[in-house]
Amino acid sequence: MTEEPYRWLEAIGNRREYVREQLKGGSPVFAAPSPEGILLLGVGTGHSKVFELFDRHSLAGLGHPADIEKIRQAAIDAAHLEAFNRAPEDVSLRRLVAFGLSPQLKTNFEQIFSAPFLVELLLAEVAVEPGQDLIARLHFDGAFQLHGKGVVVAASQPEAELAAQTWLNQSLGPAGKAERSEVVEILLQGWWCLTENKPFDAGLPSEAERRDGWRKAANGRNVEVGWLARKGSRRARYEELTLAQLGL
């Protein structure tokens, strides 16, 4: 098959379709920078979706739990080795994604006789100053985009993901909101609209509907909120927050 280029292209196309189909229905995840740090959010049904990677780094993803786990472990291994051999300050998200995870995902995706990774990921790095924060949107085929500002969404459908991201950025403003509970409230409204296939244009449900909607939909599910604090006395800046802590 690989000797015939057109069949290889066809196989890759089929593979892309297969991955998208498998990811359909995956619960989206969010990363929102703010003046005090970066907030990550995911809503799951048992398996974790938001993780600490290193001192100033975290990951959120949707997809097959075993595949998320493989990527998470690879990122943790790489970050700790880098920190040990050089220094914790040398662990950078750009290098981790561009030279570590992305090539691995691309290679795996193009090896058409092995199972592809069923993942869509967000990786975040909190910096000393808000303008230097970095959020990476990493796709199952190794493609990635680096975002220096604004909310970033990872969802299974690219069009809906872009629409949700645009709406969330308009709602939270260019610098992000300082109050974490406010950020989580808006992200959960966005999550509900995405999972319920609501439009983000003129047909967007009212705020009351959105507030009511996410509460009902999240009932019985696990809302995970990860917080990367910009300042702190300890090197590890990641903290898990509960909705009760946030007053929601």
Partner 1 sequence: MSDPSLIASDFFSLLARHHVSPLRAAVSPDAPVQTQATTVFAFHFADGVLMGGDRRATAGNIIVTDRVDKVLELDATSLLAIAGVPATAFEMARVLETSFEYYRRSQLQSLSLPAKVRALARLLRENLPMTMQGVGVVMPLFAGVDLTVSPPEPQIYFYDPLGAQFHAVGYAASGSGATTIRSLLSFQDRYGRPRPTQMNLQQAVQFALRLLMTASEFDSATGGVNPEAHTFATIKVLRSSGVEDITADRQAELLKS
Phi, psi of 200 (to 5 degrees): -105, 10
Q: How far is the CB of 232 from partner 1 (least distance, A)?
A: 11
Q: Which is nearer to partner 1, 57 or 139 (CB)?
A: 57
Q: Which pair of structure tokens corresponds to residue 82?
A: 């880098």
SS3 131: helix
Stretch that binds partner 1, among 45-53, 108-116, 146-154, 199-207 (CB under 8 A): 45-53
Q: Which is nearer to partner 1, 86 or 94 (CB)?
A: 86
Q: Which is nearer to partner 1, 58 or 195 (CB)?
A: 58
Please report whether residue 83 would count as binding partner 1 according to CB under 8 A: yes
Residues 2, 85, 206, 219: which binds partner 1 (CB under 8 A)? 85
Q: For the chain, give the number of residues.
A: 248
Residues 38, 39, 43, 52: which binds partner 1 (CB under 8 A)? 52
Please report whether residue 53 would count as binding partner 1 according to CB under 8 A: yes
Instruction: Give the total of residues touching partner 1 (CB under 8 A).
Output: 16
Instruction: Report how far apart, in Å, the C-alpha atoms of 219 and of each of 42, 89, 96, 168, 192 are.
Output: 14, 40, 36, 22, 12
Q: How far apart are CA 200 and CA 37, in angstroms?
A: 26
- Beta strand ranges found along 119-189 (DSSP E): 119-125, 134-138, 144-147, 152-154
Where on the chain is the footprint of partner 1 (CB under 8 A)? Answer: 48, 51-54, 73, 76-77, 80-81, 83-85, 233-234, 236
